[in-house]
A = this chain, B = another copy of it.
Amino acid sequence: MNADDTFASGRTGHRHASMLERRATIEDVASAAKVSVATVSRALRGLPNVAVSTRQRVMSVATSLNYEPDPAASRLAAGKTKTVTVGVPLISGWYFSTVVASAEAVCNGAGYDFQVICVSGPADRDRLLDDRHHLERRTDGLILVDVEPSAEQAARLRSRRIALTTIGNAVDGHPSVMIDDELVGEMACEHLVELGHRRIAMIGGLHDDPMNFTVPKRRRQGFERTLVRHGLALLPEFVAVGNFGIQGGREAMAELLDLADPPTAVFAMSDDMAFGALMELDRHGLVAGRDISIVGVDDHEFAQVVNLTTIRQPVADHGAVAAQLLISEMEAAAVGATGRPLTGTPTRSQTGESAGTPAVRGQLALVVRSTTGPAPV
């Protein structure tokens, strides 16, 4: 089959260098350990009903043979892939890459292969979730970050035995990790009001929202509600769209500054947008924290560089916790599969969290730096 020797002469001194490495199979281990392949399989996977001495012998033989099970073979035979996939709207960008990084660390630590796929719009989302191609037989679990599957898609995922955990929004019956986004808006508003501001604007939201990104909606609710509680109102012209990017933030700030009567303070729903706002302030010769106050959300790595006041959220934790939740789900499912056929699985449709579907909430903290200050008199 392989014509290794064809080159054995001319290629290099060492034949080994050009030869294909021979990998040990479970049979090699079995015969070397003088047991059956079944025993090797059990021994190596820590299954019960293996004599201690046998297990040890098998393990040492496996090690000395440098044996590693072929993932394709075990996937085919067992039907599990030991792979997790994370779907994000964008791979670069501080928030998402931080989430991906921490999820990767956890998954890899738990022995899972880690795949990433970019889901930048509804089409991508539906392709990922509806087509047979991406998930089917390729992954045991999926982490969706700021991507909301429909109820049907979530249901199908379950019937396809693919575990799901979401970040940024909750899907009924699945674990999720998110922050209290209403509280975010509330905290930002409180801070600004306390400083004496009364003309407070908001940068956030998306121009069109095909992905049904609920985060800005919730932040706005908390923000507006708090404004109202203080006897203030959210003026229509004080609602600018920033699309969660630096440029969007800059443009939004430009619009606000163009107003006949501009705000004295701005709540930017993300640090990125706040950075853009800061740029625009600079262009106008205005000083943040003196002429106009800006609060962001995230505590982006750069927030300290530009001294941005912001609401910190534990982004790295998001990925790590989601990965852990997902892994728990998958291992539970694995047990359930062998034990009893998950007859008892709850098929809840409650609005809140139901038993078995933890909705982890991250801690928030207002970090006051220099971009917010007392309202100008």
Q: Which residues of A approach B to under 8 Å, CB–CB?
A: 2-3, 6-7, 11-12, 15-21, 23, 66-68, 70-73, 75-76, 81, 90-94, 96-98, 100-101, 104-105, 108, 113-118, 131-133, 136-138, 155-156, 158-161, 246, 275-276, 278-279, 301-302, 304-306, 341, 343, 347
* Closest 8 pairs (CB-CB, A-B): A97-B97, A91-B101, A72-B75, A68-B132, A92-B101, A72-B76, A92-B97, A92-B98
User: Which of B73, B96, B341 contacts A15, CB < 8 Å?
Assistant: B341
Residue of B nearest to A69 (CB): B137
Query: Please, which residues of chain B bring their CB within 8 A of the CB of A19?
Result: 158-159
- A17 CA to B160 CA, complexed, in Å: 10
18 new A-B contacts at CB < 8 Å, known A21-B159, A92-B101, A93-B97: A7-B343, A17-B155, A19-B158, A21-B156, A21-B160, A23-B136, A67-B132, A68-B136, A72-B75, A91-B101, A96-B97, A97-B97, A104-B118, A114-B115, A114-B117, A246-B305, A278-B305, A279-B304
Is the Cβ of A137 less than 8 Å from the Cβ of B72?
yes
Is the Cβ of A92 less than 8 Å from the Cβ of B81?
no
- A330 CA to B94 CA, complexed, in Å: 32
> Would you give the shortest CB distance from A78 to chain B, in whole angstroms?
9
User: Which of B23, B75, B76, B341 contacts A132, CB < 8 Å?
Assistant: B23
Query: Please, which residues of chain B bring their CB within 8 A of the CB of A137?
Result: 23, 68, 70-72
Query: Please, which residues of chain B bring their CB within 8 A of the CB of A12?
Result: 347
Residue of B nearest to A275 (CB): B305
- Within the oligomer, what is the number of copies of this chain? 2
Is the Cβ of B76 less than 8 Å from the Cβ of A70?
yes
- A278 CA to B304 CA, complexed, in Å: 11
User: Which of B100, B133, B304 contacts A91, CB < 8 Å?
Assistant: B100
Given the known inter-chain contacts A81-B72, A92-B98, please indicate yes or no for A159 contacting B20, CB distance below 8 A. yes
> Would you give the shortest CB distance from A228 to chain B, in whole angstroms?
33
Is the Cβ of B73 less than 8 Å from the Cβ of A133?
no
> Would you give the shortest CB distance from A105 to chain B, in whole angstroms?
7
> Would you give the shortest CB distance from A317 to chain B, in whole angstroms?
13
User: Which of B7, B68, B72 contacts A72, CB < 8 Å?
Assistant: B72
User: Which of B23, B68, B100, B275 contacts A116, CB < 8 Å?
Assistant: B100
Most B Cβ at <10 Å: residue of A7, A18, A92, A105 = A92
User: Which of B70, B101, B158 contacts A90, CB < 8 Å?
Assistant: B101
Most B Cβ at <10 Å: residue of A19, A90, A278 = A19
Interchain residue pairs with CB less than 8 A apart (30): A7-B343, A15-B341, A16-B341, A19-B158, A20-B159, A20-B160, A21-B160, A23-B132, A66-B132, A72-B76, A72-B81, A72-B137, A91-B97, A91-B100, A91-B101, A92-B94, A94-B94, A96-B97, A100-B116, A101-B118, A104-B117, A108-B118, A113-B115, A113-B138, A115-B115, A115-B116, A246-B302, A246-B304, A276-B305, A306-B306
Query: Please, which residues of chain B bring their CB within 8 A of the CB of A16?
Result: 159, 341
Most B Cβ at <10 Å: residue of A94, A115, A118, A305 = A305
Query: Please, which residues of chain B bring their CB within 8 A of the CB of A156?
Result: 21
